[in-house]
Structure 1
């Protein structure tokens, strides 16, 4: 059933369209998880190509939603739902919302030439952003009446029966001007983008419609459930971390590393490495996405037992090897270097030493991200939170806190789907700030204290890695110099 006067006794649904699965979480306003479900996704990877079948997203949602709702108390009101997707994943649809192209995933890298054209037109986009992909898709599938569709838009259209406006969070990487609240019409015209290709845009948390009866039959989500505009998966994870008050930061360590913070004003970055999402309440969510992350562990050690390897890695602090563990070629944050490749400098003593080097390398990249944010003048005086799959490792959490020299909080629930449940509650209830709604939902599991002696031990290898990145021409000299000046400090604003 749906409670038309939805209150804090309702359950809230969050949907996360991930790379490897669709995940659904049913949660109450106080953070109690009533149900969860997931269904796998597969893609096609070959060189720079990374595609998924968008119709599979809907099938996976149906499976995951039914599982999540299957354990809910009988008669529980469902107050609303919101959907997040991987940032920069897009496809083309026809006028009725049917896909006419495969979905180009967030890291599909076939649109480099189109990205160069977009930058020449004055738009600060990166090679794997959605706008270059839109231009590439037009070249491959252009003709007739087409619509550029972000990953969650397709799911929302199936739920409500109408192609929806996009949320400003997903539209950001398609070139949407979140400060001016408009599409850059002149630049898009110069690029040959049809006037009707891009959707209208609304703020996250905006009501988009209701679950129609046919979608309710397929998913188990009650007909009439309000559907709210969502945000990207990185922003969803940030909401789930509770890092929404100015100066707070969330570090999402999954396949790759994403840092998202909160600020009263946008963080300006002439290099375009850091970009700013707009929060539903009008504040700003600056951040960046690195290509470093836990995916490097799977690449080097397929099938390894992470807990067993962590236990052995403690003997190598610091490792004799320096690593900058890119998951794929090219880096986006804390520096932009399309030519960057994974680095492993030195000869490891064995598998445990190499594992330790990869863990430490991610920690060093994370520190360099915070040093770069400090270089830009970003506020860093709030709490730091660890989320993502990497936060399930107690050893890695402690290692990262030691390298950063900062206290870190680890929430009980680290799923982006929780962030979407919170956003749905905020959008429907319409009372209080999003930070207040989230504070009631987020429960901190662990507080990790850094060990000053260990922070000092890691300063020297961190400095050597900074120099190696600079010497290869990837890291700008002023940023490297700034990191050196902060060597004997933690990563707070001092």
Structure 2
């Protein structure tokens, strides 16, 4: 019987459970989807009980399939960021459905607070570069304003993985990476800011204790063991926010490393000893799960979720791979069709949460492949803008060398997305053989470090293999020039449309 750790990865689309061995190999994994509801503009919600149900089912399915071949020695979690679960004195969630990272209901509280200024100072203190209403401290303001009865009963605000950790161990805490997405975390001091909490009038007692990501916070309780099939008493480490766990799993364990994440949303990330901050482009920064490092990133919100929407709308939800083959057969420029993929709102650089997506240039001759090609190119143009800013923070490669930028996430499975990005970035892209497991590998690494099975992350680096490498095609640079101009014009149009149609009530009921 070989020792492994269990990595639990709570993503936007569902929960993954993976067994990771001491050689940083995912020996078995399973995935259980859960839904997101959209009850009103700007409201994106999930049920914590769905997270727990996914954990229970994925653990049981994984352990049943493993049939006792491996012994689980620790558990580590990765969880999607900026979720807010208010819990009461007994640890139970006080809301059946809670706001997740992309939910902007905190915008009214943020707008009121920053009406007299101070937003740039807040950004440079926290590195919180997503649209401000997404951050937990402003969602907490919404809770106090809209549900004062629940706020009065709230004892803690927990993030996604922290709520699951509490179900596993009975211990309520968080780690620096998740805390750094709260809206009230001082990046340079690496602590929750008493000054910001006082300014935002949010009780300090609502925020759980912050411990290192590799800290063993407790063990699997008898109740959790009965539900999941895990042995009681297995150590559980604090884990980290998905952005930082994915960065670790993608190889960002030292300064200067970079990767692209292609999922429901997309981002380009660099690791460094200092945060990358710019009040204009607003990179978002999280504390890393490794000490002494930050991860800084720029994102685009139109990603896999927009592609899934298109496939479903076209009746192609069950054959996305075939749809992408048709997109690959379409020419650069999608026969004159342009897509701005911000269907669920944009980042600050993309126009903010009120902006929406668009197809421009549609005619009766366009095919499914043209629609998909235009969307892929729109994602590529948006991400290329972000990459230009962030890759400038990565040391230039020596003359004659062309190191590939790592690409991870579900969007890295297909060649077309990687090829479009390689063309637009003029950099090789490489998908590691475990690209779809980056966050789980990061969570597993934290568990292995936490119980002392690893002394450093060298096994993670040694295990990396390239499954696919895509080189840029410089001969197509001219072919992308006109589609790029069309995209810029289309994105400007969506910004003007958002400005003309936005109302003060766009993000609240």
CA-CA distance at 1:26 after TM superposition: 0.4
For residues 36 and 305 of structure 2, the distance between their equivalents in structure 1, rounded to whole angstroms, comes to: 16
The equivalent of 1:114 in structure 2 is: 109
Equivalent in the alignment of 2:277 = 268
Shift in Å, 1:66: 1.3
2:362 counterpart (313, 325, 347) = 347
SS at match of 1:420: helix
Equivalent residue for 1:283, pick from 287, 293, 297: 293
1:258 Cα deviation from its structure 2 partner:
2.2
- Tell me if the contact between 2:176 and 2:191 (Cα under 8 Å) persists in the aligned partners: no
> Which residue does 1:4 correspond to in 2?
none
Match of 1:491 in 2: none
How do 1:79-478 residues align onto structure 2 when only pairs under 5 Å count? 79-101=73-95, 102-119=97-114, 120=117, 122=119, 123-124=122-123, 125=128, 126-139=132-145, 140=147, 141-163=150-172, 165-175=173-183, 176-271=185-280, 273-279=282-288, 280-302=290-312, 303-304=315-316, 305-313=319-327, 314-319=329-334, 320-329=336-345, 331-332=346-347, 334-348=349-363, 349-351=365-367, 352-373=369-390, 377=393, 379=395, 381=397, 383-413=404-434, 414-415=436-437, 416-429=439-452, 431-434=454-457, 436-466=458-488, 468-469=490-491
**The residue matched to 1:142 in structure 2 has which SS?**
helix
Deviations 1:58-116 (A, max 9, x none): 22211111111223363633232211111111110012311112321111222211122
The answer to whether residue 48 in structure 2 is matched with residue 68 in structure 1 is: no
Structure 1 residue ranges without an equivalent (≥5): 2-8, 475-494
8 Å contact from structure 1 (residues 29, 441) kept in 2: no
Q: Partner residue of 1:483?
A: none
Inter-partner Cα distance in structure 1 for 2:60 and 2:414: 30
Q: What SS does structure 2 have at the residue aligned with 1:46?
A: strand
Shift of 1:464: 4.3
Give the match's secondary structure for 1:270. Answer: coil
How many residues get paired? Answer: 463
CA 200–118 in structure 1, closer or farther in 2 if over 3 Å, else same: farther
Question: In the TM superposition, what is the alpha-carbon distance from 1:12 to its structure 2 partner?
Answer: 1.6
Q: Higher mean Cα deviation, 29-38 or 140-149?
A: 29-38
Q: CA deviation at 1:334?
A: 4.3
- Distance verdict in 2 for CA 1:260–1:94, change over 3 Å: same
Contact 2:351/2:495 (<8 A) preserved: no
Q: CA 1:332–1:409 in 2, change beyond 3 Å: closer, same or farther?
A: same
- Conserved? CA contact 1:248–1:383, under 8 Å: no
TM value normalised by structure 2: 0.84
Change (3 A) 1:360 1:258: same
1:121, distance to aligned residue in structure 2 (A):
6.0
User: What RMSD in Å do the two structures reach over aligned CA positions?
Assistant: 2.5
1:19–1:230 Cα change, 3 Å: same
Alignment check: 8 A CA contact 2:360 2:490 kept:
no
State the distance in 2 between where 1:472 and 1:37 align: 39
Alpha-carbon distance change, 455 to 31 in structure 1, aligned in 2, over 3 angstroms: farther
* Aligned-pair CA distance for 1:422: 1.8
Q: Distance in 2 between matches of 1:51 and 1:312?
A: 33
* CA–CA distance in structure 2, aligned partners of residues 225 and 250 of structure 1: 33
**Aligned residues of 2:298 and 2:387 also touching (Cα < 8 A):** no
Q: 1:166 to 1:109 in 2, by over 3 A?
A: same
- Matched residue, 1:21: 14
Deviates more, 1:101-110 or 1:421-430: 421-430
**C-alpha contact 2:16 2:30 (8 A) present in aligned 1:** yes
Partner SS state of residue 50, structure 2: helix
5+ residue gaps, structure 2: 398-402, 497-509
Structure-2 change in CA distance of 1:463 and 1:43 (3 Å): closer
Counterpart residue number, 1:11: 4
SS of 2:186's equivalent? coil
Q: Given the two structures, how large is their TM-score scaled by the length of structure 1?
A: 0.87
Shift in CA distance, 379/113, structure 1 to aligned 2, threshold 3 Å: farther
Q: Is the contact between residue 250 and residue 261 of structure 1 (CA under 8 Å) also seen in structure 2?
A: yes
CA distance, structure 2, for counterparts of residue 191 and residue 333 of structure 1? 22
Task: Say whether the 8 Å CA contact 1:237–1:419 is kept in structure 2.
Answer: yes
Could you tell me how far 1:243 is from its partner in structure 2? Answer: 3.4
Q: Specify whether residues 178 and 221 from structure 1 end up closer, same or farther in structure 2 by C-alpha distance, changes over 3 A only.
A: farther
**1:302-327 Cα deviation digits (max 9, x unpaired):** 13122222222223212212222113
Q: Residue in 2 aligned with 1:488?
A: none
